[in-house]
Amino acid sequence: MPNKQSKTKLFILILLPIITILTGCEFKDIDKNVFVSMIGIDKSDDEDKPYKITLKLYVPTSSFKQSPKPEYAYITQNGETLTEAIRLMESYSDKELEFGHSKLIVIGEDLLAEKANEIMDFLLRRPDIQMISWVAVGRPSAEEVVKMVPQGENAAYPALFNYFDDIGTESQFIVTTYLFDLRRRLKEDGIDPVLPIIEVKKKESHFKVNKSMVLVDKKEPYELSSLYTQTFNILSMNAPIADLIIKEEGEYFNARVDSMESKYRVNVKDNNKIELEVDVSLIGYISESKNPLKTQDLAYYSKLMEKEAKEKFTEFFEEMIHIGYDPIGFGLDYKSRTLHNRRMSSEEWEEAYKNAGINMTINAELKSTGSIK
Amino acid sequence: MLLSETINWVNEQFKNTNELVHKNLEYENKHILLFYLKSLINSEMLQQLIIKPFFEMSSEEQFKIYLQALPQFQEVTSKEQIPLEMMNGNILVKIHNELYLLDFRLANNDKVNQTSVETTIHGSQLALSDNLMTNINVIRSNYHQASLTVEYLVKGEVNQHKVAIIYDKDKVKSDVLDTIRKRLQNVDKQLITSTTQLNNFINDKRFSLFPQMIMTERPDRIVYNLGGGKVILLVDGNPQSMATPVVFFDFMTTIEDNYHTLFISLFLKILRYAGLLLSLLLPALYVGVTSFTPEVFRTELALTVAGSRVGVPFSSFIEVLFMLFFMELLLEASIRLPKAVSATATTVGGLILGTAVTEASLASNIMVIIVSAVAISTFVIPVNEMAFSIRVVRLLLILITSIFGLAGLILSFFALIMHLVNLDSFGEPYLKLYTLAKDKKSSEGKS
């Protein structure tokens, strides 16, 4: 009759050999790792090895007070596949390459059009690449973006991260796209991913991030100008604050929108006709004006703003409809609210989208003229 | 039994000591015999209450009645009782063919101490004394209930110490009391010198990491525990008491919590639990994160840690164990050292060793910060016994984490919680949040 004590002994006896079989993660001291800060993926000149990977590596220091200048090391390697390139790179470094801290993936403009899906596969399969990394397009090439250290950069936190992390700059021209989101939008019909474009200003030694690129599978990427990028940011509620210039009926002023809300809906009509319903509400104040403004006329200024915004937004939508790209996700909205057996085929949808009408309502509200009397 | 036979037997018992005084008083028609151990007797009282009246009283009969009226008077019930009581400071009086015992104990240890272990800002600064009777006096004068019951036992085969079980008869759970009584009966030890020994003696388990009773020296805590239905154990000659059954959360409360306003005591409690978790998990977390999953850190921190480890010859877990070892040595040393030296020792050990170790790059800067943070947060745990347990558990966690990484840390923390859930203190679940259940019960009793 086994009593409690002998049961415990038996349990321990069985447990011990099992524990020795178990393996945990690999024990590796932190100073034997080298942390990758950014990954740049380009198209190489070599036909056989089409990928060119550039890694930016942190050089660890014990005290940032003693060495406030950023220090990085770079490795570049061509490879037939991305994995091959990385494996070759590991032989260049005395320490283990650790991708866990890489926050940004820059994809060269040339490569993007052709191999977006292939790159995605590698980035998603490798476990230590974080799904919350930002993805951006590098212009002229990813390598140049990765290798540039702008003036005034802090040690251990590359300036480029500040563009995307919502802690540093909060510009209305910057689109932030995460890896998981990029993947989702690429695979999903009815919504297309938008990637920010990072341009290198070599002479002034800084970056410029105010354009973006709409990516569609098997189609040429479409570049959004700064104005369109801003419009996209307002409509997708990405930007926390936006400025609108209003030039109507002799008034010329700047509205700073600090609260915006937009809703979209696809209304299906007969014969596969659709209408895009967009409902935007903008609340803000006037930040700059050429002419003196009166507080009692705020309602009138709001009307002007509505008119101006409507023009701008309609132009953006018309352009998108014209080329048949859908960064806002009307197709997804349609699919989500229609039963699958009543749904149009994707060809029909594309046709319908190209001929869609736009029904835009804008509700603008200016709270103040911005001056204190 | 014959009186002379008994006296001879008592004399026989004390034949190896030369302290037994045998006094024969005879005056006019009165005659008494006194036996006592000189060193245990308050001779002033003896002079005042026995010898002087003896010569003043007119008859032996009157003196006998006088003796019986004395508050120190005690009837003799058995032969065996006599030597025991004499060793406790009683005088054996033979008068009129009868034997009486009179308690003239001389107690030099009945002064109440200052609190030294559980110091507080608010509340009484006085603790218990070394004298059992004084202690019971202190408790009784703080807890005015007729239901307060004191039971005495004599434990320790050699030194025959008095053990008191104190409880409030209305509030105590009878099965808990029975268990304690039964286990105390079974204690079969040569020497009992401290109350805290009982923690081991009346605990059924051979290996126990967590204390099953809570040690306290504060009368207000004793009263608080009595009011909560706990049983208090006291041993003569000891300024500490043990309260049982306990739950884990008892060890995380100070009596001062009741003296502060709500938000302040809430804040202090949060602080304390944060300290507990920190002292338990921080070193293991360091090992797990630096050596297995550096992604968890912020980038800057990861780089700083990596940079500060440059040149350190040991792996992270050896580094942690190495520094913790010195910290534990320092803690131990500062307990044992005389008060005058201990401040110097801490300074030398803490400050100089800490700086020198990083200078010599035997450990990273971050490690020194972690070890000191752990040391400080260990002191936040209010009851000393729990702090000792946590120190041991911490080492186990480090050990498991250095083999299995962060997953191991989480699992071993689960295992710790499972162990605590499995534990019980005299039939009461160890991890019970008892306040709610108690309230319910007391309201039931009222209705």
Residue pLDDT, tens place only, A21-45: 766 567 788 888 888 999 999 888 8
**Closest CA of chain A from B443, distance in Å:** 39
d(CA A27, CA A271): 64
Percent of chain A with pLDDT over 70: 96
Mean pLDDT of chain A: 85
Using DSSP bridges, classify how beta strands B424-425 and B241-244 pair: parallel, antiparallel or unpaired.
Answer: unpaired
Closest CA to A345 of A328, A331, A365: A331
**What is the per-residue pLDDT for A22?**
65
Looking at residue A355, the DSSP 8-state letter turns out to be T
Same domain, B99 and B151: no
| Residue B404 lies inside a defined structural domain of this protein | yes
Nearest to B309 among A31, A37, A157 (CB): A31
Tens of pLDDT, residue by residue over A56-107, are 998 877 666 676 778 888 999 998 888 888 888 888 888 888 888 888 999 9
d(CA A240, CA A233): 9
Nearest to B303 among A22, A27, A35 (CB): A35
Residue A226, CA distances (Å) to A182, A197, A209, A210, A364 in order? 20, 10, 9, 5, 22
**What is the per-residue pLDDT for B446?**
37
User: What would you report as the CA-atom Rg of chain B, rounded to the nearest whole angstrom?
Assistant: 29
Q: Best of B291, B298, B303 to disrupt the A interface by mutation (most A CBs within 10 Å)? A: B303
Domain boundary among B220, B246, B272: B246
pTM of the complete model: 0.79
Domain A238-373: state its class.
alpha beta
Q: Where are the beta strands (DSSP E) in chain A?
A: 33-43, 51-58, 72-79, 96-98, 104-108, 134-139, 194-201, 206-214, 222-224, 242-248, 251-268, 274-289, 357-366
Q: Is B418 on the interface with A (CB under 8 A)?
A: no
261-300 of B, contacting A, C-beta below 8 A: 290-295, 299-300
Q: Which residues contact B404 (CB under 8 A, 6 or more apart)?
A: A22, A24, A25, B411
**Closest CA of chain A from B232, distance in Å:** 31
d(CA A337, CA A303): 33
CB contact under 8 A, A33 and B305: no
Closest CA to A138 of A207, A198, A211: A198
Intervals of chain B under pLDDT 70? 1-2, 434-447
d(CA B64, CA B60): 6
Domain boundary among B246, B266, B299: B246
Q: Best of A29, A67, A154 to disrupt the B interface by mutation (most B CBs within 10 Å)? A: A29
Which CB contacts under 8 angstroms, 24+ apart, belong to B143-149? B143/B168, B143/B222, B143/B223, B143/B226, B143/B227, B145/B170, B147/B171, B148/B226
Helices (H) and strands (E) in chain A, counts: 10, 13
DSSP states along A122-187: HHHHSTTS-TT-EEEEEES-HHHHHH---TTPBTTB-HHHHHHSSSS---TT----BHHHHHHHHH
Which CB contacts under 8 angstroms, 24+ apart, belong to B148-152? B148/B226, B151/B181
**What is the per-residue pLDDT for A198?**
92
Same domain, B270 and B393: yes
* B-chain residues near A31 (CB < 8 A): 306-307, 309-310, 312
Same domain, B212 and B187: yes
**What is the per-residue pLDDT for B39?**
85
**What is the per-residue pLDDT for A63?**
67
| Residue B124 lies inside a defined structural domain of this protein | no
Residue A264, CA distances (Å) to A333, A360, A362 in order? 8, 9, 12
Nearest to B316 among A22, A29, A98 (CB): A29
d(CA B192, CA B214): 18
Nearest to B290 among A30, A60, A64 (CB): A30
Using DSSP bridges, classify how beta strands B30-37 and B90-95 pair: parallel, antiparallel or unpaired.
Answer: antiparallel
Q: Best of B291, B358, B364 to disrupt the A interface by mutation (most A CBs within 10 Å)? A: B291
Question: B92 near B43, Cβ under 8 Å?
Answer: no
| Residue B438 lies inside a defined structural domain of this protein | no
Q: Closest residue of B to A64, CA-based?
A: B304
Nearest to A157 among B299, B312, B316 (CB): B299
Looking at residue A296, the DSSP 8-state letter turns out to be G
Domain that holds residue B153: 132-246
State the Cα angle at B234 between B229 and B238, rounded to 5°: 145
Same domain, B294 and B395: yes
Q: Which residues contact A192 (CB under 8 A, 6 or more apart)?
A: A185, A214, A215, A216, A325, A326, A327
Closest CA to A306 of A364, A226, A254: A364
User: What is the rounded average pLDDT of the residues A322-331?
Assistant: 87
A136 — pLDDT class (breaks 50, 70, 90): very high
User: Hey, where are the domains in chain A?
Assistant: 28-224, 238-373
* A-chain residues near B422 (CB < 8 A): none
**What is the per-residue pLDDT for B439?**
47
Looking at residue B440, the DSSP 8-state letter turns out to be H
Q: Closest residue of A to B303, CA-based?
A: A60
Same domain, B296 and B388: yes
Residue type, A175: V
Number of domain units in chain B: 3
Q: Is B190 on the interface with A (CB under 8 A)?
A: no
Q: Is B365 on the interface with A (CB under 8 A)?
A: yes
| Residue B148 lies inside a defined structural domain of this protein | yes
Looking at residue B97, the DSSP 8-state letter turns out to be T
**Helix (H, G, I), strand (E, B), or coil: what is residue A320?**
helix
**CB neighbourhood size of B387 (10 A):** 18
**DSSP percent split of chain B into helix, strand, coil, nearest 5:** 55, 15, 30
CB contact under 8 A, B365 and A62: yes
Q: Is A245 exposed, middle or buried (0-12, 13-18, 19+ CB in 10 A)?
A: exposed
Q: Closest residue of A to B403, CA-based?
A: A24
Same domain, B203 and B239: yes
CB contact under 8 A, A29 and B405: no
The residues on A that touch B, with CB distances below 8 Å, are 22, 24-31, 33, 35, 37, 58, 60-64, 98, 100-101, 103, 128, 130, 156-157
User: Which of the two residues, B185 and A1, has the higher pLDDT score?
Assistant: B185
HSE-CB at A126 with a 13 A cutoff on CA atoms is 20
**What is the per-residue pLDDT for A24?**
55
Domain boundary among B246, B279, B298: B246
Same domain, B35 and B98: yes
Q: Closest residue of B to A61, CA-based?
A: B307
Q: Best of B295, B315, B422 to disrupt the A interface by mutation (most A CBs within 10 Å)? A: B295
Q: Is A41 exposed, middle or buried (0-12, 13-18, 19+ CB in 10 A)?
A: buried
User: Which of the two residues, B284 and A168, has the higher pLDDT score?
Assistant: B284
User: What is the rounded average pLDDT of the residues A144-156?
Assistant: 84
| Residue B443 lies inside a defined structural domain of this protein | no
Q: Best of A16, A31, A34, A128 to disrupt the B interface by mutation (most B CBs within 10 Å)? A: A31
**Closest CA of chain A from B108, distance in Å:** 48
| Residue B74 lies inside a defined structural domain of this protein | yes
Which CB contacts under 8 angstroms, 24+ apart, belong to B176-182? B176/B231, B176/B244, B176/B245, B176/B426, B176/B427, B176/B428, B177/B231, B179/B426, B179/B427, B180/B231, B180/B233, B180/B244, B180/B426, B181/B151
**Closest CA of chain B from A37, distance in Å:** 9
**Closest CA of chain A from B431, distance in Å:** 22
